[in-house]
Chain A
């Protein structure tokens, strides 16, 4: 088994499904190892016997940690934006104006009933055709925030509805303005009620971030992480081995 520099782009294109050959190119994501130390492999007739090389993740731990950092950053930003979107949309769905309610309902139903992968594609591949262009990570974060926002809107709406009408009436009769009623009576209690589903949603964001990053970051071949990994694993005179 010869470890060739050409195999990293092959790995990337297998992930996006362009290249057909997934065996024999050495495109096994878990058997990455520094150049020179070819992991032991025992080819047998008709199939490949796999030998796990658990050292690989440890030798490249800094790259994995950098990836974890990106995941955490993307999911944190996406979640904060999603919560803001969710709150605004939840309020819009309870608005007096029918057009605002319609827009909010359409947003929630469309985003909840189509795959998040498709939404990522629309932002990353679709929007550039109308002149809106973001880099891979930004598009991923935006798509994720929009998707989670729709789910959070429903959760927040349910939380607001769970507050009994008597409390709102009591607060109003005590002379609180509608915005005060919302800020001081309804919202704090709603937040407490929706805590479990919101935490669930945080986990979903985390998991979706994996999808987003693998898809979008690998599709964008300029991903610096891949370049660094490629340089480290397959140093050539033009691409000397570097640290992170």
Chain B
């Protein structure tokens, strides 16, 4: 083991780490917004839109993220859209996570008893007020643990962006390995960096899960 290699290239590794963090951040933010909108459309049963939402969810949950990345990065240019690597990665991860998050949020919304909605309606709350004060706060308690679990997966899935050549953590580490020929040390460092992001999240998720099932 020669840790000198890792120390020497820590600047490059940290750069890749920041890119991974950034990509995860945008994927989580945009994916959650998209997922929320799609879940609302799914639960309100708007005629054509809710079927479209369902098709979207089925397609993106039923195909590998890798294929989605390929379609966005290699496919869109043929339809006339030039996509940069960062945009392709963010777009593919957003579409992918939107579909999963929509299902998580929908499950959370359906866990809110129907009586609560009826009570809110009979109290004269508007649809927005009912969502804002009755349904969504309860949804969050139910959906948060699986949501964080999914975020952990998403952070790890950002590593797939390396396949389209996006210079995130894994791609940068490949470069270091090509130069130094010390794969195990560099991979160990990369694993540690991912672990730093994911482990606190997974501890948090477990704790939330325990808390939300404690009163049952």
Where the two chains meet, the residues of A that have a C-beta atom closer than 8 Å to any C-beta of B are: 14-17, 20, 22-23, 28-29, 47-50, 109-110, 112-118, 121-122, 125-130, 207, 210-211, 214-215
Contacts and interface: CB of A to CB of B under 8 A. Distances in A.
7 contacts: A113-B198, A117-B162, A118-B190, A210-B64, A211-B160, A214-B163, A215-B163
B170 A121 contact: yes
A59 B62 CA distance: 25
SS class of chain B's interface: helix, strand, loop or mixed?
Answer: helix
Interface in B150-207: 152, 156-157, 159-160, 162-165, 170-171, 177, 181-184, 187, 190-191, 194-195, 198-199, 202
B79 A50 contact: yes
A154 to B, nearest CB: 10
B187 A121 contact: yes
Contact of B77 (A20, A23, A127): A23
A23 B75 CA distance: 11
A47 B77 contact: yes
A128 B156 CA distance: 24
Contact of A117 (B67, B79, B159): B159
Contacts of A14: 165
Q: Range of interface residues on chain B?
A: 35 or more
B163 A47 contact: no
A115 B80 contact: no
B143 to A, nearest CB: 17
Interface in B100-145: none
B25 interface: no
Interface string B50-76: 000000000000001111001001100
A89 B5 CA distance: 33
B170 A17 contact: no
A115 B23 CA distance: 15
Q: Which of A48, A112, A118, A128 has the most CB of B within 10 A?
A: A118
A2 B184 CA distance: 42
A48 B78 contact: yes
A114 B195 contact: yes
Across chains A and B, which 8 residue pairs bring their CB atoms closest together, nearest first? A50-B78, A17-B165, A113-B198, A115-B159, A115-B156, A126-B183, A210-B64, A114-B191
B191 A110 contact: yes
A127 B82 CA distance: 39
